[in-house]
Structure 1
Amino acid sequence: MAEDVRAEMVSTVFEVVVREGDVVAEGDTLVILESMKMEIPVLAESAGTVTSVGVSVGDVIQQGDLIAVIS
């Protein structure tokens, strides 16, 4: 079953830590967002393989935008 990882707030992508095909454990950092000069890690809520990364460094994302898919 695939897990969509979505943005919880408007922010800028500061760093993309994972790539498609990477295996992640629950709690691993997927990307780091920046909002109001704070760095906010986005963590995997379940273990699996990253099948899609929908953001790049510098992207401005909105609440609900797709960040990654883990299956």
Structure 2
Amino acid sequence: MEHLSTFCSCANLACPLHPTKHDKGCAPCIQKNLRLKEMPNCFFNLVEGTEDRAGDSFEDFANSVLRKQN
């Protein structure tokens, strides 16, 4: 079976929750983000120009998507 981390598109390899740091896949990251009401870092990869965003909140993500649609 292929290791789950091969599917991770997150470039933040320094994060202790990155799937390369453990064998639990994306679950720890998703749990943290749900608790903090934030979007996982990898979701921002879908929106060009979000590297310098203010934060990872649901609102930050929604605003980024809406800006790209205009």
TM tier, smaller: under 0.3
**CA radius of gyration, larger in:** 2
Which fold has the larger relative contact order, with Cα–Cα distance below 8 Å and residues 6 or more apart in sequence? 1
- Name whichever structure is richer in helix by fraction: 2
- Name whichever structure is richer in strand by fraction: 1
TM-score of the aligned structures, taking structure 2 as reference length: 0.24
